[in-house]
Structure 1
Amino acid sequence: MIDIYVNDETSELKAVILGTAQQLGGEPTVEEAYDPKSIEHIKNGTYPTEEVVHKEIEAFAAVLKKHNVEVYRPEVLEDCNQIFSRDIGFVIEDKFVRPRILKDRKDEIIGIQYILDQIPEANKLEVPEGGRVEGGDVMPWHDHIFVGYSKEEDFKKYVVSRTNEEGVEFLKSSFPNKKVMAFELKKSDIDPKENALHLDCCFQPIGTDKAIVYKGGFKNVEDYEFLVNFFGKENIFEITKDEMYHMNSNVFSISEKVIVSEQNFTRLNTWLEEQGFTVERIPYSETAKMEGLLRCSTLPIKRVKK
């Protein structure tokens, strides 16, 4: 059996599911893509190759193993993009939540079924019919759960709306001991610079009391202001629209002191080191062209209990 526990984004990581870039199925057509950044790179002829993305994700795996993290990988499915394991499940406390995700991605869960089979049934939850949640929108943070979502009008309008009000209500009812704070995100199916695909595309807690935030990713300024007040303005690293586009908020914490970051995030990485973090820099800019980065590629299943 696999022991699972996650209660925040930064406690020392013990076990994680890291996606795989094998058998991606070649470059999708514009019609097959379901986010504006992928579409942009397909149209521009700059969509990443399987070879280069595989190298990037294996560099990530090497850093995780260097820090003694147990790394699980999905079983490879033919012609299936399995890089972004964050969205196909998530752990809160000792529960593995199997969400309802975009129908184009429903097969991805098959690749991690062998892991799910080792988790006791009592420790599994499934989002009910009608609810939609993706892991990129869900962040456990001690006695809070931060969630990015879209109200019904936007959820019906945009393909990039991935978590709905029913999904938020499911989290509230499933974790009544948590304060679920839900933030409406700004969405666009056509402009990647105006689209927060998931909450982790515009916000992420780091360390014990800090966060990376992009103000323009939130539909309501009050939600941004809540986070600034929650963490304290002096503890917030504000990213620009261009930095959001390159996914600067989508770094990944191995612990409260160690953060894996893209090597080209110069301004962010400098600030992180000034704050006392160890920054593990790796190449991940090609993977980012699919509108996902380091947090998106990981599904943490065990962090140290605090």
Structure 2
Amino acid sequence: MLQLNIQNETATLKAVILGTAKSIGAIPKPEDCYDPKSLQHVLNGTYPKEQDMISEMDAVAAIFKKYNIKVFRPEILENYNQIFTRDIAFVIDDKLIKANILPDREKEYLAIQHVLDQINPKNIIQLPADCHVEGGDVMPWNEYVFMGTYSGDDYADFITARTNVQAVKELQKLFPHKIVKAFELRKSNTNAKENALHLDCCFQPIGKDKAILHKNGFLVESEYEWLLNYFGKDNVFEITKEEMYNMNSNIFSISEQVIVSEQNFTRLNTWLRENGFIVEEVPYTEIAKQEGLLRCSTMPLIRE
């Protein structure tokens, strides 16, 4: 059996589900795109090729192997996008919470059944139907669970609004010993530079006490200020609008010292190394075209 354990974003990783780009299917039609960035690449004829994305993910798998991390992959569904495992479920403490995601993506959850079979069924939680939540909006950070949300009356108009207030309340009920702290995110269906699809598109804690932040991703300035004060200005790497668009906050921690990052994130990777991190660089620009990067394509199961 798998003994799930996730207390935060940076403790030493022992087991993870890494998505797959195999048999990803045809280029989506513009009307079938879930986010403004994919749409832009479909319209420009620059949508990523399957083989390129497979090699990018293989590079990540190789790093996990180097650090002796147990890696699970989803079962391959024919002609289906299964890259972003972070969306379909997430772990807090010893519980795996099934995300109520866009109905079209239900099959992705079924493709990790071989992993779910190794988890005690009482530790798998299905949220009530009115709770919308995706793993990219959920960040366990020791006594906190940080969550991205959108509570506007026009929630239903945004395909980019993925986590609602009901889900925030439900997680607070499930984890009464934690402080569930929600942040309102800026949403846009059409402009990728004005859209924080998930909390991890504009914020991510790293190491023991540092973070990557993008101010404009937050709708409420005081909520952004709270994070800035919580980590301390000197511990925060502020990313620009262009860097947010390129997903600089969506890197992935293997431990408090080791971070997997995109090889083109020059400014960020330099700062990380200056601050004592070991940076494992991988090519991930093709996958990034779908508005997701390293954190989005991984679902940690056990950190020690």
TM-score > 0.5, shorter chain as reference = yes
- Match of 1:224, as an amino acid? Y
Query: Aligned partners of 2:132, 2:238: CA distance in 1, in Å?
Result: 29
Q: TM-score if structure 2 supplies the norm length? A: 0.99
SS in 2 for 1:71: strand
- Match of 2:192, as an amino acid? P
Query: Aligned partners of 2:144, 2:83: CA distance in 1, in Å?
Result: 28
Please state if 1:235 is matched with 2:267: no
Q: CA deviation at 1:129?
A: 1.2
Instruction: Map Cα deviations across residues 279-306 of structure 1 (whole Å, 9 max, x no partner).
Output: 00000011000000000000000000xx
SS in 2 for 1:230: helix
Change over 3 Å in CA distance of 1:200–1:154 after alignment to 2:
farther
Match of 2:76 in 1: 76
SS in 1 for 2:68: coil
Query: Aligned partners of 2:136, 2:43: CA distance in 1, in Å?
Result: 26
Q: After the TM superposition, which residues 1-306 of structure 1 pair with which residues of structure 2 at under 5 Å, given as runs?
A: 1-304=1-304
Q: CA RMSD in A?
A: 0.7
Q: CA deviation at 1:152?
A: 4.4
Instruction: Map Cα deviations across residues 94-142 of structure 1 (whole Å, 9 max, x no partner).
Output: 0010110112212110110111111111211111110100000000000
SS in 2 for 1:105: helix
| Stretch deviating more after TM superposition (132-141 or 24-33) | 24-33
Which aligned runs of 4 or more in structure 1 are off by greater than 3 angstroms?
none
Query: Aligned partners of 1:229, 1:136: CA distance in 2, in Å?
Result: 23
SS in 2 for 1:181: strand
Contact kept? 1:202, 1:214, Cα under 8 Å: yes
Q: TM-score if structure 1 supplies the norm length? A: 0.98
SS in 1 for 2:293: coil
Contact kept? 1:202, 1:217, Cα under 8 Å: yes
Q: CA deviation at 1:223?
A: 0.9
- Match of 2:156, as an amino acid? K
Query: Aligned partners of 1:26, 1:112: CA distance in 2, in Å?
Result: 22
- Match of 1:28, as an amino acid? P
Q: CA deviation at 1:222?
A: 0.8
- Match of 1:288, as an amino acid? A
Instruction: Map Cα deviations across residues 232-291 of structure 1 (whole Å, 9 max, x no partner).
Output: 011000000000000000000000000000000000000000000000000001100000
SS in 1 for 2:153: helix
Query: Aligned partners of 1:101, 1:91: CA distance in 2, in Å?
Result: 15
Query: Aligned partners of 1:253, 1:29: CA distance in 2, in Å?
Result: 34
SS in 2 for 1:290: coil
Q: CA deviation at 1:154?
A: 3.7
Query: Aligned partners of 1:21, 1:105: CA distance in 2, in Å?
Result: 15
SS in 2 for 1:302: strand
Query: Aligned partners of 1:153, 1:107: CA distance in 2, in Å?
Result: 29
- Match of 2:233, as an amino acid? K
Q: Which runs of 5+ in 2 are unaligned?
A: none
SS in 1 for 2:182: strand
Query: Aligned partners of 1:36, 1:99: CA distance in 2, in Å?
Result: 22
Contact kept? 1:83, 1:297, Cα under 8 Å: yes
- Kindly, what percent of the aligned residue pairs are identical? 57
Query: Aligned partners of 1:152, 1:122: CA distance in 2, in Å?
Result: 34
Query: Aligned partners of 2:167, 2:3: CA distance in 1, in Å?
Result: 25
Count residues in correspondence: 304
Query: Aligned partners of 1:66, 1:257: CA distance in 2, in Å?
Result: 15
SS in 2 for 1:301: strand
